[in-house]
Amino acid sequence: MNAEHDLPIRDRLAHWVEHLTHVLPAQAPIRDFVHHNTLHGFQHLPFAEALSAASALTGATTWWPEDKFRACLASGRINIDDLNAALDDAGLADLDQPVVRVLRRRDVLLASLQAGNEAPDACHLDWLRRETALADDFIFGHFSRLTVAMPAAADAQPWQPLVQARWAELCGRVGKAWTWRSLLEHLSGEDVLERVRSILQRHLAAHLDLGVAAWRNPAQGQGFFAAWRASAGFDLAWEMDELPNVRDEILHLPDSPIDVLLEELPRLIADESLWPGYLQRLSLELPGWSGMFLWRERHPGRGDGTPVVMLDYLAVRVLLERLLTDDLLRRLTGGPLQLAELPEHYAARPEEFLVRDALHQAWLPEELQGRAASLVDQARHEHVDAEDWRHLAAAIASAMLGAQAANAAWQLAALCRQLGLTPADLETLSRDEIGALQSCAGSLGAEQRRQIWLLAYERHYRQQLFAALTANHARQVTPATPSAQVVMCMDDREEGTRRHLEEVAPDIVTYGAVGFFGVPIYWQGLDDAARTALCPVVVRPTQLVREQGVAGAEVEQGQRAARRERRLQWRERFYQATRRRAVAGPILTALGSLPALAALTATTLAPGWFAETARRWRQQYDGRLATRLVLTAEQKIAATPEQPQAGLTDGEQIKYVEDFLRMIGLTGNFARLVLVFGHGSGSRNNPHLSAYDCGACSGKHGGPNARIFAAMANRREVRAGLAERGLAIPDSCWFVAAEHNTCDDGVEWYDLDSVPERFQPALDTLLAQVGEACRAHAAERCRRLASAPVRPTPWKARQHMLGRASDISQARPELGHATNAAAFIGRRTMSRGLFLDRRVFLISYDPGSDDDGRIVEDILLAAGPVGAGIALEYYFSTVDNERFGCGSKITHNITGLFGVMEGADSDLRTGLPWQMVEIHEPMRLLVVVEQTPEVLTAILNRQPPLQELINNEWIILASKSPSTVAIQVYCPRRGWLPWTGSSVLPQVAHSVDWFAGESEALAPAIILGGVR
């Protein structure tokens, strides 16, 4: 490789690596779990196209399987109108053209969707023939005769060209959808990836480790490639795996990973244009590890100083791929063969290929399957005679034709049954007409079918929601003098809390906003060792707010910090030394044993009580300390995210408060108390802890933001500044802050002792009301948890939630955002008094004071990606929990403090665990904005990020007129479509009357007690 070529290829490689950020999981180390669109790299494509592309690239399922949707149709979750409308929504052409006699294309497609396109495999079909009345079924019999008769002519055809075409097709996939290992696995049934992973996994984990291992690779500082090479050179495993020449190769490798890549890539694949595709495919084979490696390369500041360079990883990966596929190829073909010669090898042996290929096909009858498997297995150990292959291939080829006929017959029969054709009709159908039916039903691809199902599924919920909004339109009343105003996070879970609060106290008005309350800051609590950013991930704050002991308590604060440090050090010692120290380990084990057994017994018998007691003990030991915020900065300095300004200046405080209050539309008629209510989640023994926290605060608790906001809004200077800008907060109003624990439904109040005496009565009332609402909310949450009490009283429910949150054995402390489905941006009056089943993000916005749409534009820009991120992450983790999610929690094993593996040897698992999504209904987020279509269109036209989300249909936008009942849905293809439909809704007095005893998702209802 000479110097001139060096630069361009280097750049090209960098470019390819850059491209990998679009396809690999972008999940940060698990401590900072933030929801994002799993397919963020495909967001520039329309939803359906992106899903197909992702599926082709990663092999994942991107839609829910059809049989789930069909079960929804059977249970009434989808009805036939939805399906019919979905055909229009999908933009299919010629729906009303007749296909056969009176049957229109629409009828045939509807029937085909309901009948399904899956045919039973050979064994199942045999079984059905034997055990059920299928053999006597007239329609199936009729079509069996027809379809068997049809390809009779084809029987005489030689099968070899077909097989050779198939082989060429498979070979063509290499470098695009497949790697050599996929092809070889297909042929031999042996997966090289298993070995690659077990070779790589320990090295990767050791290199990326953030604090489990005590001993690091001595060569680690030189990067992954050098570290791996240093170890691999000593590794005896090569000899044990019968790869003795590998050590020599490793010893003679070039020093630069780029040179290794340039040496190895041509050996894998000669065509240079396929290299980027091949690298992409290769890194997607271990998506978790590749993604984490790339993330660490892109965020060097978040690691521990170890150099992480993606090319290092790719070089090792490519090298291993070549070494191990070479080895497998040698064993497979029994001779020294280059990868490039593989296509010709099997092109010359179609019989063998057919047998190996058929092994993966479902249509293969059981008996042939057994024979093929044993022949392939035999070939692994000894030479198999060409005659044996030929013999079996002939048998398989004839079975293939039979199976195709049976499939076609099965599908046709199901279709005709669904269309309601009688045997008499069938007799008169001509062969051409049957062909027309078949081709019409077959005109929908598997992905398109599922897309139509999804559209129907979403539409059904949308109809319910629009009906509810329409029915509620006449009930919009605002209390003239609210007793309190409560500002909560827009989070779907808080919909329940707000509804119950309004039922408990109809004179309270609630608001919803992005949960960092417009205060993007770094926060350092009293006990925090470092600062954390409390704002959406895309924002990098430049101000730091610290929590400190109250003035005059510096000595106590120091003592407390020392005691706490001592306690934590001992804890650290117990957990770390018992696994790491040779002498101290056994001694500490002996010391810790009895307390550990006692703790385990206590937490098993009474988790809630034990956690509370332990917390009290800890607090007693550390010492209690009243705290204050170091909030105000005297002067503005030029701050950067790395060197933030300590505190906020008066000007900044005024701006934050004003912007936020105007955004949610709280600009007058202030109640005596305004409660700013952040949220977070506390659970035990849960690696995915931060996935339950506030997404707007980068997966952290939002309480500090609420506390800071309230403190700012109470300051005299800030109020004076606000008054100057026309936003007068009267002295009869006080801001208080609290944090809602969404897991145990508890509330932590902040700075209550600084509330002036005159607000005390109002505060006492509010405290009681919020407590009652949270208990009622806990009772509502119980209904979705199978292990919770049925129809509990609010007190019992709250007790259950307390126990649940502190139970170390609980894999579902809460259900997070599961079932989230929609977002409302508008006044609360639009939805107040509706039971929305904790499925809707509620964002307060007053269209009355926003004629040009500037405020809603900002809201859409901030909340749109957050909501879409949550909804889409849940969507993808639900539709393919194996690929996009991280499987069941119960075998999870924390790795390197940055992720989880299944057991001790697997890919790094990203996405949401199955326990979080099992009850989720995978849908795209429906965003209903209380604003006119004209304003929304104008916003859409000037905002490319929103165009990407909305025009590509990653979320669905609807407009609710601020003044009338009119609702319109935006369709990128057809523009704004007015909604019409029935708006009759069940009415109940209280939420509890609607949900009591129900455990499934509930349709909206009107809650009469929510509005007075």
Partner 1 sequence: MSLTLGTLTALIGWLVIRFSANYLHREAGFHRFFIALSFFLAGIQFVLLAGNGLLAFVGWEMCGVSSFLLIGYAWHRPVATGNALFAFVTNRGGDAGFLLALGLAATWLGGFEWTLLSKASQISVVNDRLLVIGFVIAALAKSAQLPFSAWITKSLEGPTPSSAIFYGAVMVHAGVYLMLRLEPLLLQVPDVMFGLVVAGVLTAIYAWLCGLVQTDVKSALIFATLFQVSLMFVAIGLGWTTLALVHLCLHAGWRVWQFLVAPSWLVITRERPPPPPAWLRHNQLLYTAALQRFWLDKLADALFVQPTASFSRDAHAFEAHFIDHAIGQPGQGKAVHADRPLVVADGLLGRLLASASDVLQRIEYRLLLRGKGGTAEKLMHRAGAYLRTLENLLEQPRYLMMAVMATFVVIL
Q: Shortest approach of partner 1 to residue 236 CB, angstroms? A: 5
Tell me whether residue 19 or residue 186 sits nearer to partner 1 (CB atom): 186
Q: Shortest approach of partner 1 to residue 445 CB, angstroms? A: 28
Taking CB under 8 A as the criterion, the residue among 89, 107, 209, 458 binding partner 1 is 209
Taking CB under 8 A as the criterion, the residue among 374, 439, 941, 980 binding partner 1 is 374
Taking CB under 8 A as the criterion, the residue among 436, 599, 606, 971 binding partner 1 is 599
Token readout for 28 is 């940060």
Binding residue count for partner 1, defined by CB under 8 A: 84
Rg (CA), the chain: 32
Q: Shortest approach of partner 1 to residue 68 CB, angstroms? A: 17
Between the CA of residue 1001 and those of 79, 461, 558, 835, 917, what are the distances in Å?
16, 11, 51, 12, 14
Calculate ∠ Cα 959-962-963, nearest 5°.
Answer: 130
- Judged by CB under 8 A, the chain residues 723 through 762 that form the site for partner 1 are none
- Measure the CA–CA gap between 602 and 592, rounded to whole angstroms: 15
678 within 8 A of 696, measured Cβ to Cβ: no
H or E stretch at 253: none
Token readout for 566 is 């001592």
- Judged by CB under 8 A, the chain residues 811 through 870 that form the site for partner 1 are 811-812
Cβ neighbours of 236 (radius 10 Å): 8
How many residues would you count in the chain? 1012
Taking CB under 8 A as the criterion, the residue among 46, 59, 151, 592 binding partner 1 is 592
215 sits near partner 1 (criterion: CB under 8 A): yes
Give me the residue label for tokens 């989808």.
78
- Measure the CA–CA gap between 886 and 30, rounded to whole angstroms: 12
Between the CA of residue 628 and those of 550, 552, 684, 747, what are the distances in Å?
5, 11, 28, 19
Tell me whether residue 123 or residue 539 sits nearer to partner 1 (CB atom): 123
Calculate ∠ Cα 274-275-279, nearest 5°.
Answer: 120
Q: Shortest approach of partner 1 to residue 888 CB, angstroms? A: 7
H or E stretch at 750: strand 746-750
585 sits near partner 1 (criterion: CB under 8 A): yes
Q: Which of 816, 817, 803 is nearest to 744 (CA)?
A: 803
Q: Shortest approach of partner 1 to residue 27 CB, angstroms? A: 15
Q: Provide the 3-class DSSP secondary structure of residue 284.
A: helix
- Judged by CB under 8 A, the chain residues 787 through 816 that form the site for partner 1 are 787, 807-812
Beta strand 627-630 with 532-534 is unpaired
Beta strand 822-826 with 925-929 is parallel
Contact region with partner 1 (CB under 8 A), list: 206-214, 276-284, 658-666, 838-846: 206-214
Tell me whether residue 304 or residue 851 sits nearer to partner 1 (CB atom): 304
Contacts of 2 (CB under 8 A, 6+ apart): none
67 sits near partner 1 (criterion: CB under 8 A): no
- Judged by CB under 8 A, the chain residues 565 through 584 that form the site for partner 1 are 568, 571-572, 575-576, 578-580, 582
One-letter amino acid for residue 498 of the chain:
R
Q: Shortest approach of partner 1 to residue 571 CB, angstroms? A: 7
Sign of CA dihedral 950, 951, 956, 958: positive
Taking CB under 8 A as the criterion, the residue among 348, 752, 786, 977 binding partner 1 is 786
Token readout for 323 is 């070494």
918 sits near partner 1 (criterion: CB under 8 A): yes
Q: Shortest approach of partner 1 to residue 47 CB, angstroms? A: 30
31 sits near partner 1 (criterion: CB under 8 A): yes
Q: Where are the beta strands (DSSP E) in 97-173?
A: 98-100, 103-104
Tell me whether residue 336 or residue 903 sits nearer to partner 1 (CB atom): 903
Q: Provide the 3-class DSSP secondary structure of residue 691.
A: helix
Taking CB under 8 A as the criterion, the residue among 731, 905, 934, 998 binding partner 1 is 905
Between the CA of residue 708 and those of 379, 493, 656, 750, what are the distances in Å?
71, 23, 11, 10
Contact region with partner 1 (CB under 8 A), list: 88-96, 203-211, 316-324, 484-492: 203-211
809 within 8 A of 604, measured Cβ to Cβ: yes
- Judged by CB under 8 A, the chain residues 603 through 662 that form the site for partner 1 are 604
Taking CB under 8 A as the criterion, the residue among 45, 92, 212, 938 binding partner 1 is 212
Taking CB under 8 A as the criterion, the residue among 518, 647, 687, 704 binding partner 1 is 687
Q: Shortest approach of partner 1 to residue 591 CB, angstroms? A: 8
Contact region with partner 1 (CB under 8 A), list: 40-48, 69-77, 209-217, 631-639: 209-217
Phi, psi of 823 (to 5 degrees): -140, 135
892 sits near partner 1 (criterion: CB under 8 A): yes
- Measure the CA–CA gap between 499 and 404, rounded to whole angstroms: 57
Contact region with partner 1 (CB under 8 A), list: 202-210, 507-515, 618-626, 922-930: 202-210
- Judged by CB under 8 A, the chain residues 71 through 130 that form the site for partner 1 are none
Q: Shortest approach of partner 1 to residue 404 CB, angstroms? A: 24
Taking CB under 8 A as the criterion, the residue among 74, 152, 590, 637 binding partner 1 is 590
Tell me whether residue 196 or residue 868 sits nearer to partner 1 (CB atom): 196
Taking CB under 8 A as the criterion, the residue among 134, 139, 629, 689 binding partner 1 is 689
One-letter amino acid for residue 507 of the chain:
D
Tell me whether residue 33 or residue 995 sits nearer to partner 1 (CB atom): 33
- Measure the CA–CA gap between 233 and 244, rounded to whole angstroms: 12
- Judged by CB under 8 A, the chain residues 504 through 563 that form the site for partner 1 are 529
Q: How far is the first Cα of the chain from the last one, in angstroms, to the nearest whole number?
A: 80
- Judged by CB under 8 A, the chain residues 270 through 329 that form the site for partner 1 are 304
- Judged by CB under 8 A, the chain residues 399 through 418 that form the site for partner 1 are none
Q: Shortest approach of partner 1 to residue 77 CB, angstroms? A: 20
Taking CB under 8 A as the criterion, the residue among 596, 720, 723, 790 binding partner 1 is 596
Q: Shortest approach of partner 1 to residue 575 CB, angstroms? A: 5
904 sits near partner 1 (criterion: CB under 8 A): yes
Contact region with partner 1 (CB under 8 A), list: 81-89, 407-415, 594-602, 924-932: 594-602
Query: Phi/psi class of residue 689: alpha, beta or left (left: φ > 0; alpha: ψ in -120 to 50)?
Result: alpha
Contact region with partner 1 (CB under 8 A), list: 163-171, 448-456, 669-677, 899-907: 899-907
HEC letters along 395-458: HHHHHHHHHHHHHHHHHHHHHHHHHCCCHHHHHHCCHHHHHHHHHHHHCCCHHHHHHHHHHHHH
Q: Provide the 3-class DSSP secondary structure of residue 200.
A: helix
- Measure the CA–CA gap between 840 and 823, rounded to whole angstroms: 5
Tell me whether residue 233 or residue 651 sits nearer to partner 1 (CB atom): 233
- Judged by CB under 8 A, the chain residues 955 through 974 that form the site for partner 1 are none
What is the pattern of x (binds partner 1, CB under 8 A) and - over residues 162-181? --------------------
> What number of CA atoms fall less than 13 Å from residue 523's CA on the CB side?
23
Q: Provide the 3-class DSSP secondary structure of residue 543.
A: strand
Q: What does the DSSP assignment read for 858-920? A: HHHHHHHHHHHHHHHHHHHHHHTTTTTS---GGGEEEETTTEEEETTSSPEE-S--HHHHTT-
Taking CB under 8 A as the criterion, the residue among 891, 941, 963, 987 binding partner 1 is 891
Tell me whether residue 105 or residue 889 sits nearer to partner 1 (CB atom): 889
Taking CB under 8 A as the criterion, the residue among 142, 203, 827, 883 binding partner 1 is 203
Tell me whether residue 237 or residue 446 sits nearer to partner 1 (CB atom): 237
Q: Shortest approach of partner 1 to residue 839 CB, angstroms? A: 21
384 sits near partner 1 (criterion: CB under 8 A): no
